[in-house]
Chains A and B, each alone.
Chain A
């Protein structure tokens, strides 16, 4: 039986292939954008508070900073005890239109040696981990100069 694709958090990203994007919310009164999404109250202290509606975030941005995880993170991060630990890069990307920095894992195979502050990155669909029945999906950052 094929595994069911399930987002690691529901409502944070949507779309397939080239249409994949992060999903935030925008306040109808002041225009502030929130990711992770705020669905109840606008957090701008100068705003009376408007409706918060879903908005797709820009697909590309530039690296604010980056690092990696040379040691296995503790739970609730899911790792396989049978497999050797493989570090992955974490990238904080600044989206120009929304003026927000969003953290994410780099696509597998991209290491800190491939990255630089200011480099352009694109958000792409990724797999966080798989278990018996589920493929847990997430977002990854990929350098725009690297083919998918």
Chain B
């Protein structure tokens, strides 16, 4: 176990398609988080930016970009990139600086301005880039991988298209209550099942959109939090940023094939399960202690997969858990009460930070209509392309 760091403040720029640059969203989120924390920007000793590949050079050096936009004040800057896990890695970088005594207060910011349609690789001939190859050779978009996972669950666990649609209906109902969500319309199973198939068996409303958005948190040492007057702040207890173990036998984005298990027997624990287990071990808690979970629902079927990977239920039991209402607001273990990626659409470097913002508001009891009663412990879970695990456990 490691020491805790305090979450002094959280802030979002609403998700949508606003047509502005990522710097505007990130700066707005950063200002909101500083205001929420009651911390002045000049008190921040370090800024960590979750990078975006879509903003040119400023996107790659996001930490410095946001520092400049907020007004140069001499803070240390770092920028991290780990695809969808960038936000969690940025939080972990900030946390490591605090725990090492390098900085007392660290601002973490991520923001993106997403193009319309499918994500696609950067231009140019790059046959040594697996992401470029899967598009060039197979036309394998992100939703096709989600389709593969969904079909596999149907074959192995008996999940149905109706189960998947019910995930969407659940998330849309809480997303409708979240002013920062992009999609705020309640949906029916019939509406989900009437949307067009994108990658069999998944339909448009099973798959998360790509969005603009920005998220930020202000983290500090527990000592600083006390001096600052935050007697019982939300605390980050663990951050898991693990990679897979050879042989990885699940076909992961953006790969064309799995590792071969012919020479080394697989451990029996999947990569996603190991992400959660590491977070639990570091925090010294287990799935039974959770009040809520925010998981990366790139698709409805993937949300069900996370239930099992987080240990909320046994393998193959996720649809049953959903149907019992356990993961709905008011249920035993509500999942994605923010509305999830389903209601937000993915703003890649902001998304894992936004998950932690939701935990922060829930654990403070500030989540309004979507408040989980008596929330004490929350987990976020996420997986980034190229083997990036990410999970954060926060407590109050």
Interface residues of chain A, those whose CB is within 8 Å of chain B, are 8-9, 27, 30-36, 43-47, 64-71, 73-78, 88, 90, 92, 97-105, 112, 116-118, 128, 138
**Given the known A-B contacts A31-B263, A105-B138, are A73 and B118 also in contact in the complex, defined by CB atoms under 8 Å?**
yes
Contacts of B249 in A (CB 8 A): 99, 101
Q: Which of B118, B133, B141, B151 contacts A66 (CB 8 A)?
A: B151
Q: Are A75 and B155 in touch, CB under 8 angstroms?
A: no
Which secondary structure characterizes the binding site on chain A?
loop
Q: Are B135 and A8 in touch, CB under 8 angstroms?
A: no
Question: At the interface with chain A, which of B182-190, B197-205, B209-217?
Answer: B197-205
Interface residues of chain B, those whose CB is within 8 Å of chain A, are 117-118, 120-121, 123, 125, 127, 130, 132-141, 144, 147-152, 155-156, 196-202, 246-247, 249, 251, 255-264
Nearest B residue (CB) for A29: B263
Q: Are A69 and B139 in touch, CB under 8 angstroms?
A: yes
CA distance in complex: A78, B137 (Å):
9
Which secondary structure characterizes the binding site on chain B?
loop
**For chains A and B in complex, what number of residue pairs have CB atoms within 8 angstroms?**
145
Q: Which of A8, A43, A47, A104 contacts B136 (CB 8 A)?
A: A8
Q: Which of A71, A74, A78 contacts B120 (CB 8 A)?
A: A74
CA distance in complex: A76, B126 (Å):
10
Q: Are A70 and B200 in touch, CB under 8 angstroms?
A: yes
**Given the known A-B contacts A69-B144, A99-B262, A112-B200, are A92 and B121 also in contact in the complex, defined by CB atoms under 8 Å?**
no
Q: Are A67 and B200 in touch, CB under 8 angstroms?
A: yes
Q: Are B261 and A99 in touch, CB under 8 angstroms?
A: yes
B160 to A: closest C-beta gap in Å: 15
Q: Are A36 and B200 in touch, CB under 8 angstroms?
A: no
Q: Are A33 and B262 in touch, CB under 8 angstroms?
A: yes
**Given the known A-B contacts A65-B152, A70-B200, are A138 and B259 also in contact in the complex, defined by CB atoms under 8 Å?**
no
